[in-house]
Structure 1
Amino acid sequence: MSGHKMMFSGLKLWTKGISRPAWISRFYDGMNGSGNASFSTCSPKVCIVGSGPAAFYTAQSLIKNVINTFTQTAKHSRCSFYGNVNVGKDVSVKELQQAYHAVVLSYGAEGNRSMGVPGEDLAGVYSAKDFVGWYNGLPSCRELSPDLSCETAVILGQGNVALDVARVLLSPIDILKKTDITQPALEALAESQVRRVLVVGRRGPIQVACTIKELREMVNLPNTRPDMVAADFEGVTEALKDLQRPRKRLTELMLKTALEIPGEKEKQNKASRFWGLRFFRSPIEILADPDHNRTAGIRLGVNRLEGSGEGARAVLTGEVEDVTCGLVISSIGYKSIPIDPSVPFDSRKAIVPNNMGRIEQAAGLYCSGWLKTGPTGVIATTMNNSFDTARSMVEDMDLGTLDVSAAKTGSQSICALLEKRGVKPVTFSDWEKIDTVEMRRGEATGKPREKLLTVEEMLQVAQKNN
């Protein structure tokens, strides 16, 4: 796309929340000013709803391929950022479509997938999304206050998020003090009694969803010892030869961790904390304490696999296993939620039905990121996914299936609409004030940043001297 004649002349990001990178949220405006389009005298105006990686990669692809950071994208002369705007509430998708030639929905997957088992509403059961939001300073999760007084925690799911949670639960507090984990979370983790974390998956080692980087961080975590079940790895050595390189390297590390003693015996003997991957298990029920007030354990169904490789399917055998624990964290996946009644939505797959990012039966509407594909892949997957959506849009403009000949008001009319409704957007320069304050607060304690934990605090900082 770098050699394309079209010049997008203004991209603006509107967001539902006010947050830091990776939590910035929800809404891009775009394309105004004079432009250089081979097919039209009018410069295309595009609105991107979202501001996570998928939104920024989509914007990056539309503006200029050589831009390689989200901050550069947000600061680009043809891009504007508007935070604190809730699409579907403060402004409708229909209103955005009236103001822009195209609207890209890229607001991610904010919902939790339910386990669908008895007892999942007991105290002591949390979603990984909320638990991560708690220690990362997401305002909506600041009141979570998880009870960490138990010895054993069980994490359901074996993706990168699951291992990240396990690492935070078991990391020495001196290591966590050097990160941007919030002060309330640090204080809670310093008092934590959790000494053993089991990371449970319904399939086997060859189907595990994490990447080697996250597994290596767990293997190398100070003062911890891996606790694996050797029987889970039967036949895995023979299967190595048929695996592709990334999967092969990951599996070899798991095998080494499970079947050999990693590191010196003395270090292992001194370890006071333990973690382990448990395979071929599915949650059947969360077990309550005698008073039925909180979690006391989890009942796991034992699985066998039908098929082989990454397409193997887990089937319950009827055998069960009970694990005593006081903390259960569900990391079985995120799901997208509908944003506006006017937008088609597949509630079973939890995605917007689309063809290469073109939303079905909705001309001028596009999607990217997890809303497009479901919650799958790593950051490179999201990047390519977003670039593909941008490519689809450009193709539609070239072919004339996306009409950009009519003049559109873009952010001018949307800003007026929001002002009338009493909604004050936060610009990227406002967001940078928040970023600066957080980093200065962090400097005082030797951390990368100390986060503001409420939207009210963020708005006070953002609007100062405006």
Structure 2
Amino acid sequence: MRQIAIVGSGPAGYYTAEAAVKKWGEEARIDVFDMLPVPFGLIRSGVAPDHQSIKAVSRRYEKTAIGDTVRFAGNVRIGSDLSIDKLSSLYDAVILATGAPRDRKLGIDGADTGNVLGSAAFVGWYNGHPEFAQLAPDLSGKHAIVIGMGNVALDVARILSKTEGEFLGSDIVAHALGALRASNIETITILGRRGPHQIMMTPKELGELMHLERASPHVDAADLPPVGDDAILEPGLRKSVTLLREFAAIPESIHGEKPVAIEFDFFASPKAVLSEGGKVTAVEVERTEVEAGRAVSTGETYRLPADLVVSCIGYQTSPIAGVPFDERAGRFANSEGRILPGLYCVGWAKRGPSGTIGTNRPDGYAVIDIVDEDIGTGSRKRGREGFDELVEQRGLDIVTFRDWQKIDEAEIAAAREGSPREKFVDIESMIAARGA
């Protein structure tokens, strides 16, 4: 019986568990650990609450989670409740699927100023992640700046600009909905160091900006390259740039009908956050040019008023004691998923925050092929049996998948009208609901 531990119950973790079941069937026992009492990681706390069709992928993970072969063990912190060394002594293979939950640092003067937030924190706040539920961003000002040119920046801008009615059918948490209802934000500026041909935004997410009730997207036509230059772009990016051209063509009369403006500011590199009384008031920006795909400084600077800044410039994996870490890349040091003998990584913890949710599926299958090659048919460790003994010795309070199903039922029962659920936003409430 192969004994496999997967640390992290998000897409990478469950695709890896699925691959292990297909590879070994009943000849394996796979334990999936998570620091939270609830599974699904990024699907629950990273995907935008108004993108329910994407969240539906969790049903696939449920099929993997139900049964004896795969077991969910929530409310376990690997590194503190249980060291990597101890976990490795119990299981034939330990696979880290912890994702990249930390914000990449903005790295400019004033980045620690009040109401300057990273996207992990801001997204975690409106998604009800226990670590960020108490964030309470101040939305009383008129000007928000979102730094970044990827889909997360679009998510943040869209969430900030929606009406309460547009959240119908979403699982945005009540505290965020209340704050957004009272928001005074009128201008959301999306800053990008490079130009339209270098954006990472996908057409579907960009297209959503065309259908917002009280907000309209603005693009300066002068920032767009000649139309003929679009021919060299890959199809997805070409569609995105075509949408930017459509934004630039929106008549001023249409813009005037909507009270919120979403401004795209290309060739703009943030240089410093300015503040008064400990709170952001403006961002100093330097104009750039793109040379060979890279942003190059021009020396020209200007200031944009800012009452809120959200940095969406990427994520990093959280280090774990005893695991080699690549600080520069912000992920575990590995070679094709191998970290140390018996220790592996997968997904964003392996390659950094790139690709889509679906990208984790082939990644999971690939790492299981490597594990199978490495552990062969040799002697086996105690695995689940040894872990259960340790739980009893240390008095750990493990949350099972059946417990999660009770939490799930309680969240669904607590949903406001038109919402699929009302999430518990603290660990104590989640654990209490398990016993309901």
Fold-level match, TM-score > 0.5? yes
Aligned to 2:272: 285
Is residue 295 from structure 1 mapped to residue 280 from structure 2 by the alignment?
yes
Contact 2:255/2:261 (CA < 8 Å) preserved in 1? no
CA distance in 2, matches of 1:316, 1:381: 34
- Map residues 293-332 of structure 1 onto 2, 5 A cutoff: 293-307=278-292, 312-332=293-313
Contact 1:125/1:329 (CA < 8 Å) preserved in 2? yes
- Other structure's SS at 1:315 match: strand
Indicate the structure whose relative CO is greater, using CA pairs within 8 Å and at least 6 residues apart. 2
Correspondence for 1:269 among 256, 279, 285: 256
Contact 1:358/1:367 (CA < 8 Å) preserved in 2? yes
Contact 1:177/1:186 (CA < 8 Å) preserved in 2? no
Percent sequence identity is 37
Contact 2:219/2:244 (CA < 8 Å) preserved in 1? no
Correspondence for 2:212 among 221, 226, 233: 221
Aligned to 1:256: 246
CA distance in 2, matches of 1:314, 1:267: 33
Deviations 1:15-69 (A, max 9, x none): xxxxxxxxxxxxxxxxxxxxxxxxxxxx21111111111111111111128x981
Contact 1:226/1:257 (CA < 8 Å) preserved in 2? yes
- Map residues 180-195 of structure 1 onto 2, 5 A cutoff: 180-195=171-186
- Map residues 296-445 of structure 1 onto 2, 5 A cutoff: 296-307=281-292, 312-341=293-322, 343-359=323-339, 362-397=340-375, 403-442=376-415, 444-445=416-417
Shift of 1:223: 2.3
CA distance in 2, matches of 1:231, 1:266: 19
CA distance in 2, matches of 1:204, 1:381: 26
The letter of the residue matching 1:338 is: P
Contact 1:178/1:447 (CA < 8 Å) preserved in 2? yes
Contact 2:3/2:380 (CA < 8 Å) preserved in 1? no
Shift of 1:170: 0.3
Q: Larger Cα Rg: Structure 1 or Structure 2?
A: 1
Is residue 456 from structure 1 mapped to residue 414 from structure 2 by the alignment?
no
Aligned to 2:62: 71
CA distance in 2, matches of 1:367, 1:316: 37
TM-score w.r.t. the length of structure 1 is 0.83
Aligned to 1:172: 163
CA distance in 2, matches of 1:383, 1:156: 30
TM-score w.r.t. the length of structure 2 is 0.88
Contact 1:47/1:102 (CA < 8 Å) preserved in 2? yes
Structure 1: gaps spanning 5 or more residues:
1-42, 398-402
CA distance in 2, matches of 1:264, 1:318: 32
- Other structure's SS at 1:140 match: coil
CA distance in 2, matches of 1:304, 1:414: 56
Is residue 139 from structure 1 mapped to residue 161 from structure 2 by the alignment?
no
Shift of 1:238: 2.1
Structure 2: gaps spanning 5 or more residues:
26-58
Aligned to 1:37: none
Aligned to 1:129: 120
Tell me how many residue pairs correspond in the alignment. 402
Deviations 1:84-106 (A, max 9, x none): 00001111111111111111011
The letter of the residue matching 2:3 is: K
The letter of the residue matching 2:427 is: V
CA distance in 2, matches of 1:364, 1:337: 20
Contact 1:106/1:371 (CA < 8 Å) preserved in 2? yes
CA distance in 2, matches of 1:348, 1:363: 23
Shift of 1:463: 3.2
CA distance in 1, matches of 2:407, 2:373: 38
Correspondence for 1:106 among 97, 110, 121: 97
Aligned to 2:140: 149
Aligned to 1:211: 202
CA distance in 2, matches of 1:430, 1:404: 34
CA distance in 1, matches of 2:348, 2:125: 22
CA distance in 2, matches of 1:386, 1:264: 47
Shift of 1:353: 2.0
